[in-house]
Amino acid sequence: MSQSRLCEDFSSTLSMTTPPAPPASGVRSIPVRTAHGTFDVWTRRSGASPHIKLLLLHGGPGCTHEYFEVFDSFLPQAGIELYFYDQLGSHHSSQPDHADLWEIGRFVDEVEQVRQALALDGSNFFLLGHSWGGILAIEYALRYQQYLKGLIISNMVWSVPEYNRYAEEHFLRQLPAGVLAELQAIEAAEDYDNPRYMELLIPHHYEHHVLRRPYAQWPDSVLRAFEHLNPKVYIPMQGPSELGARGKLAQWDRRADLSRIGVPTLTIGAAHDTMDPQQMAAMAKALPRGSHLHCPNGSHMAMVDDQVVYIQGLIDFLRRVDAQAIREDP
């Protein structure tokens, strides 16, 4: 089927579906053990499937599951069981005040505890990580791929230094000279709480590369996710700058390790993303069982601003991997 026909058919499904308010049913609090004691993380199940169970890892770090709520309108109807999840430190989960909890390895341990609690395994467990969640998904796969049926790396490249390079060479040069100079002056003064910082970023950066709609038209689910972001997690790991990563993640690089991930993996990139779409395609080639989905009209939130391509491509991947597993099952 051609992409234009596919999009036409799926658009009719979209137009017939009114996004419901997220249901409270399926909510479950899962205890997570840490060096500082046991804390609770929030999860919610939507839909039911014996063979396709998708756990969602949100970005940030310190953001929330809320911007994934769009999936509620489409994936359960496609026979996919969803698990929304707020990582430790995020809005709906416990928010302990221990700075040493905000480390990649500790988050990987957390995801594994969540998997065990939800009884997910290699017969049904798909993991989708978006942005920071993509880093977390890669790290989880490198340690625990025996439990995965499939992996989705959405809008995250294989190297934060490469992300920073792309931002500097691509996005910063697109900004009007006066805007860039003012942003750099605010950052040099470390005056990130200055209202002018966001006044400049929203029209000149966010509306072009984060979600390609006027800010006044951003969905409530996305606005809630941004409103609920926990800076005590975000700033130590990402850093205070919105023009590049400067925190603990600044040197993260897994280019040499993707070949070790042997499960079927989909990388999702977008033409207008803050992440280099060419690197997203290259990642798929580096993965032994990789495939790639390109969202030509999307940005960092491509599940919103290139929704038809993103969601149909995701559904196709999940179904394809499941069908292959059924054929291979003796």
Known catalytic residues are 131, 273, 300
Task: Identify whether 61 is preceded by a cis peptide bond (ω within 30 of 0).
Answer: yes
Those residues with Cβ within 8 angstroms of residue 62's Cβ, 6 or more apart along the chain or in another chain: 87, 89, 90, 229, 230, 231, 232, 233, 234, 237
Q: CB-hemisphere CA count at 13 Å for 13?
A: 16
Q: Are 129 and 60 in contact (CB under 8 A)?
A: no
Please report, for residues 52, 196, 203, 213, 290, the alpha-carbon distance to residue 179 in angstroms, rounded to integers and kept in the order given. 46, 11, 11, 20, 39
SS (H, E, C) 167-228: HHHHHHHHCCHHHHHHHHHHHHCCCCCCHHHHHHHHHHHHHHHHCCCCHHHCCHHHHHHHHC
